[in-house]
């Protein structure tokens, strides 16, 4: 290879790689590859067929500067053609020139093709499996030289890897969304659904007493309990909505967000919350930071509402092996084996930690305070 040609090819491949690495979005990767190929190789048009992963059928995934005969008639880009047939038959093993006589999409249109007479077809593969075809064309082409076809083939390899990476990213995002939906479903089931069931039970009791002309005091008590449960569930619904809408840390580190939580609780709720941190300068995964912050919020909320104390302490400890968040108070405590049915926050904390692969430890007793400790492994 001549030094000048080698330098040119490396420059082109480097530019294509940079374009593909700017985004993990599939459409963006495809259009970036077409744009760079056209710019650097002086090409006129390009289009990419991809195989549908579910049914194996091919479809037009991206196009650039298609001639009017094709761009204005989308149906002409449907179905089979020579290069697609060769690809599926396995005879399009390397980049190949296909002239307008044998290319079924161009041979019947002598006008409206912008002078296109040839295109090169580049098979796209990833990890040994077929994923599609890259077609590129120029109006003044004769057949491409073997060196240019080899360059296109290398570009096709890079594009194939980028496509596979984009698809993996999409699948991981879908999996993350599915996990979040499942988490929300569990949280709704463990909080709002149970709360509404309890409300219905109290109202059914009141209705039965009314029919039997029962004791007015008992009817009043059942209605008041239903009202209390309704208000608690309304608060829980509002909290869930805020959890969904708010960015938990608002751009802060976990330690900074916990310090703000402590100071705001002290100022607004009349409970003096202290905060200390060890090893907090170590970066933590975003999911861990968000999850632990939500646990801290719930633990502080429980202290304010139930502990009957004016002081609490939060401690964050980060080591290479794990991160631990402890929230404790010296309030009235409770028996962990007999948690009141309306205390849904503990269930929510447990669920958050399970999603992180962590554990929640609860220590409490009547009149002896409460300590909640959340631990997530980092190794």
- pLDDT in the model for residue 134: 85
328 forms beta bridges with 313, 371
Point out which residues pair with 49 in neighbouring strands: 60, 133
CA distance 103 to 91: 15
Q: What separation in angstroms does the CA of 297 have from each of 179, 285, 291, 373?
A: 22, 19, 10, 13
Per-residue pLDDT of the chain (379 residues; tens, 9 = 90+): 555 666 777 777 777 777 777 767 777 778 877 887 777 677 778 888 888 877 788 888 888 888 887 777 777 777 777 778 777 777 776 666 655 435 666 666 666 667 676 677 888 888 778 888 888 877 665 566 677 777 777 887 888 888 888 778 777 777 776 777 776 666 666 666 667 777 888 888 888 888 887 788 888 888 888 888 788 777 767 666 655 554 567 778 899 999 999 999 999 888 999 999 998 888 888 888 988 998 999 899 889 888 999 999 999 999 888 899 999 999 998 887 776 555 556 777 888 898 899 999 999 999 899 999 999 998 6
List the strands of the sheet with 370-377, edge to edge. 272-278, 311-318, 322-329, 370-377, 359-364
| Model confidence pTM above 0.75 | no
Task: Give all domains of the chain, ordered by start, each with its CATH number.
Answer: 3-171 (3.30.450.40), 249-379 (3.30.565.10)
Measure the CA–CA gap between 295 and 352, rounded to whole angstroms.
8
Q: What angle do CA 236, 242, 244 make, to 5 degrees?
A: 105
Question: 115: closest CA among 33, 43, 62, 63?
Answer: 43
Q: 16, 39 in Cβ contact below 8 A?
A: no
Query: Which two tokens mark 340?
Result: 């009141």
C-alpha neighbours within 13 Å on the C-beta side of residue 86: 20
CA distance 46 to 43: 8
DSSP summary character for residue 368: S
Q: Do the Cβ atoms of 313 and 274 come closer than 8 Å? A: yes
- Put the strands of the sheet holding 45-51 in their side by side order: 58-64, 45-51, 129-137, 118-126, 96-99
- Model pLDDT, residue 101: 36
Q: Distance (Å, rounded) from C-alpha 18 to C-alpha 41?
A: 16
The CA dihedral of 17, 18, 24, 25, to the nearest 10 degrees, is: -100
The per-residue pLDDT for 98 is 54
CA distances for 186 relative to 138, 150, 173, 281, 349, angstroms: 57, 54, 20, 33, 12
């Amino acid at each position: 290879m001549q030094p000048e040609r080698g330098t040119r090819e490396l420059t082109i491949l480097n530019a294509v790689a940079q374009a593909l690495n700017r985004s993990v979005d599939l459409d963006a990767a495809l259009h970036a590859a077409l744009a760079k190929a056209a710019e650097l190789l002086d090409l006129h048009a390009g289009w990419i067929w991809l195989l549908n992963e579910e049914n194996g059928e091919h479809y037009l995934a991206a196009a650039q500067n298609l001639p009017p005969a094709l761009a204005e008639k989308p149906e002409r880009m449907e179905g089979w053609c020579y290069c697609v047939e060769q690809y599926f038959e396995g005879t399009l093993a390397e980049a190949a020139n296909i002239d307008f006589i044998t290319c079924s999409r161009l041979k019947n249109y002598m006008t409206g093709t912008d002078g296109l007479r040839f295109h090169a077809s580049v098979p796209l593969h990833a990890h040994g499996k077929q994923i599609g075809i890259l077609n590129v064309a120029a109006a003044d082409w004769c057949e491409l030289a073997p060196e240019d076809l080899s360059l296109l083939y290398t570009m096709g390899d890079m594009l194939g890897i980028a496509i596979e990476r984009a698809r993996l990213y999409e699948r991981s995002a879908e999996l993350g969304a599915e996990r979040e939906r499942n988490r929300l479903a569990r949280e709704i089931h463990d909080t709002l659904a149970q709360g509404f069931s309890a409300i219905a039970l109290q109202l059914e009791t009141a209705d039965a007493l009314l029919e039997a002309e029962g004791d007015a005091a008992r009817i009043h008590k059942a209605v008041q309990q239903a009202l209390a449960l309704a208000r608690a569930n309304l608060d829980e619904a509002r909290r869930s909505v805020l959890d969904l809408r708010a960015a938990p840390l608002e751009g802060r580190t976990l330690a900074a967000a916990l310090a703000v939580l402590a100071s705001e609780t002290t100022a607004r709720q009349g409970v003096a919350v202290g905060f200390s941190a060890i090893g907090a300068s170590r970066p933590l995964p975003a999911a861990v930071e968000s999850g632990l912050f939500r646990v801290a919020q719930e633990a502080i909320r429980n202290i304010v509402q139930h502990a009957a104390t004016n002081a609490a302490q939060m401690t964050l400890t980060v080591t290479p092996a794990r991160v631990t968040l402890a929230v404790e108070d010296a309030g009235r405590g409770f028996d962990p084996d007999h948690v009141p049915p309306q205390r849904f926050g503990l269930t929510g904390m447990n669920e958050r930690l399970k999603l992180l692969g962590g554990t929640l430890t609860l220590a409490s007793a009547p009149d002896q305070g409460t300590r909640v400790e959340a631990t997530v492994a980092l190794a």
